Amino acid sequence: MRNKSLIACSLIVLGMVLFLSGCPKKALEPVATEVTQPQQPTPPSTEPGEPTMQMEPSVTGQGGGAAAGKAGLEEARAVFEQGDVYFEYDSFDLSAQAKKVLAEKAAFLNAHPGIKIRIEGHCDERGTQEYNLALGERRAKAAQEYLVFLGIGAQRLSTISYGEEKPADPGNSEAAWAKNRRAHFVILEG
């Protein structure tokens, strides 16, 4: 009888030791987690010949002045709004490319502190309307939280989800769906 009690106590102590000495958990980043995923299709904004995000508008021409500066800012604003962040299917995780685009956007926003933006979350047509609205919201929030992480004031950022309502490409193929899984950025004021 005593042997059985000793074995039972030993097992309990061993179980507690194993439980308490388990692997430590990693600290989580705020929604900026990255999961290794298969190669993502190249989004339309990263193809050769497309304009890239500029930190400051380039002002050239004769007689430059305020008109050229205003035209340069308008061009930089247009480039800012064309640079979307793309997501994998059924995901709101930010890829390395997405973080790079967001870093460029943060640099632009830091250079223009009066600008406020809206981040629109979009999905492809697969899934229910309710699910896609929720996923679009998570995509917009992931982009917003990463911009805040990069130092942009949260009061300058708002989000909205359009789900599948406003596709960038109305096609019914993987290439079209890849263009629709995105966060889009709109300058509101500034």
The tens digit of pLDDT for each residue in 73-111 reads 788 888 888 899 999 999 999 999 999 999 999 999 999
Q: Is residue 131 part of a domain?
A: yes
pTM (two decimals): 0.64
Specify the higher pLDDT residue, 135 or 69: 135
Total number of domains in the chain: 1
Q: Is residue 93 part of a domain?
A: yes
User: By residue range, what is the domain housing residue 169?
Assistant: 30-38+68-190
Q: Is residue 48 part of a domain?
A: no
Query: Hey, which bits of the chain come out as E strands?
Result: 85-86, 116-122, 157-163, 182-189
Q: Is residue 6 part of a domain?
A: no
Q: Is residue 16 part of a domain?
A: no
CATH code, domain carrying 86: 3.30.1330.60
Q: For residue 188, how many other CB atoms are within 10 A of its CB?
A: 11
